[in-house]
Amino acid sequence: MADRDTTALLAVQVVEQDAGTVIVQLTGEIDISSAEILVDQFRAISVQRLENVILDATRVSFIDSTGLHALTEGKRMIHAEGTSLFLVPSRQVKRVLELVFPEPLFAVRVDTLQEALALISPPPADPIPGS
């Protein structure tokens, strides 16, 4: 069997949102062939000592047990540095997480990227009355 091109299986793009927040956009499959790509990315991000990491997995079409291990390992690395991690799962990722981990694995799991961004952005200040 020929070696598989893991970059074709999982694409990872890191988008800096502001000085303390990045969005990690995942596209494709997280399985035994591609999980190390995700772990390497978590490793690189964890040393940046960010305030927030949003893991946008809305375009992940498949995840297996190796992918789940990559997520849990990444969560451990990110939290060890005091960084908050927000997961925005695809339907497939959400289903697998709910089946394997009856209690939420990720403290902050939202349905959309906009929800995650709203949680880390302070609400606008109320205008001062009479101004």
Kindly report, residue by residue over 7-52, the tens digit of the pLDDT: 568 999 999 988 899 999 999 999 999 999 999 999 999 999 899 9
Model-level pTM?
A: 0.84
Flag whether 127 is in a domain: no
**Domain interval for residue 43:** 10-116
Q: What is the pLDDT of residues 43-102, one digit of tens each?
A: 999 999 899 999 999 999 999 999 999 999 999 999 999 999 999 999 999 999 888 887
Residues 113, 116, 117, 123: what is their CA dihedral angle, to the nearest 10 degrees?
A: 140
Residue 1 lies in a domain: no
Per-residue confidence (pLDDT) for residue 3, from 0 to 100? 56
Residues 6+ apart with CB under 8 A from 90: 57, 58, 59, 60, 61
Question: In this structure, what CATH number is given to the domain that contains residue 79?
Answer: 3.30.750.24
Task: Classify residue 45 by its DSSP letter.
Answer: H
Is residue 27, in this structure, part of any structural domain at all? yes
